């Protein structure tokens, strides 16, 4: 496998995502980060444009990494991005069952294979939902999101919570 699509919602990008992207960029010739544009889930903290822009800035030093939006079936996005397979990260047991099911489904539907990278111990506990919660409550996001985009993420989450948006 020479090229992979790494799909997710990246709402927003975390140091956990970047750990995976950095390691994948050393393993594969081409890494396409696919940001899910989910119109069924409008209550995302960051717009699709913001999520893409944050990822592009965070990954700007990695020349074989591209960021794009996708919607609909993952197997269709794999075909459209012209990659060999899918990359996903595994943190703990909670990821495992769901990921296995999705990987099997994608293989059965379209012969698309999935490769998994185990999360580095230092980022095992980090999720985008936790970052959103900490940011909305005014906590320091140092070490949770990439330094280069920390201020933008902090401003957006803090600004939103002041407008009285509900958590979710």
Question: Under the rule (CB under 6 A), what is the footprint of ligand ADP?
Answer: 8-10, 14, 16-17, 19-20, 88-89, 91, 95, 119, 123, 126-129
Q: Which is nearer to ligand ADP, 143 or 162 (CB)?
A: 143
* Residue number closest to ligand ADP, CB atom: 16
CB 10 to ligand ADP: min, Å: 5
CB 97 to ligand ADP: min, Å: 12
CB 144 to ligand ADP: min, Å: 10
Q: Which is nearer to ligand ADP, 35 or 154 (CB)?
A: 35
Complete DSSP assignment for the chain? --EEEEEE--TT--HHHHHHHHHHHHHSSEEEEEEE--TT-TT-SS-HHHHHHHHHHHTTT-TTEEEEEE-S-HHHHHHHHT-SEEEEEE-SHHHHHHHHHHHHHHHHHH--EEEEEEPPGGGTT--HHHHHHHHHTT---BTTB-GGGHHHHHHHHHHHHHTTPPP-
CB 11 to ligand ADP: min, Å: 7
Q: Which is nearer to ligand ADP, 82 or 129 (CB)?
A: 129
Q: Which is nearer to ligand ADP, 12 or 154 (CB)?
A: 12
CB 131 to ligand ADP: min, Å: 8
| Alpha-carbon separation of residue 47 from 19, 61, 105 (angstroms) | 23, 23, 28
By C-alpha distance, which of 19, 34, 93 is closest to 67? 34
Q: Which is nearer to ligand ADP, 121 or 164 (CB)?
A: 121
């Amino acid at each position: 496998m020479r090229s992979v699509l790494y799909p997710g919602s990246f709402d927003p990008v975390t140091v956990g995502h970047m750990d995976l992207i950095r390691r994948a960029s050393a393993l594969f010739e081409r890494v396409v980060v696919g940001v899910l544009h989910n119109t069924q889930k409008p209550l995302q903290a960051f717009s699709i444009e913001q999520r893409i822009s944050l990822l592009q800035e965070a990954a700007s030093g990695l020349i074989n990494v591209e960021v794009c939006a996708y919607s609909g079936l993952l197997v269709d996005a794999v075909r459209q991005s012209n990659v060999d397979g899918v990359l996903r990260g595994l943190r703990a047991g909670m990821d495992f069952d769901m990921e296995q099911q999705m990987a099997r489904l994608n293989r059965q539907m379209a012969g698309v294979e999935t490769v998994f990278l185990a999360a580095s111990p230092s980022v095992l506990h980090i999720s985008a939902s936790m970052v959103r919660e900490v940011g909305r409550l005014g906590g320091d996001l140092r070490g949770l999101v990439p330094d280069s985009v920390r201020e933008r993420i902090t401003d957006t989450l803090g600004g939103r919570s002041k407008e009285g948006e509900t958590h979710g």
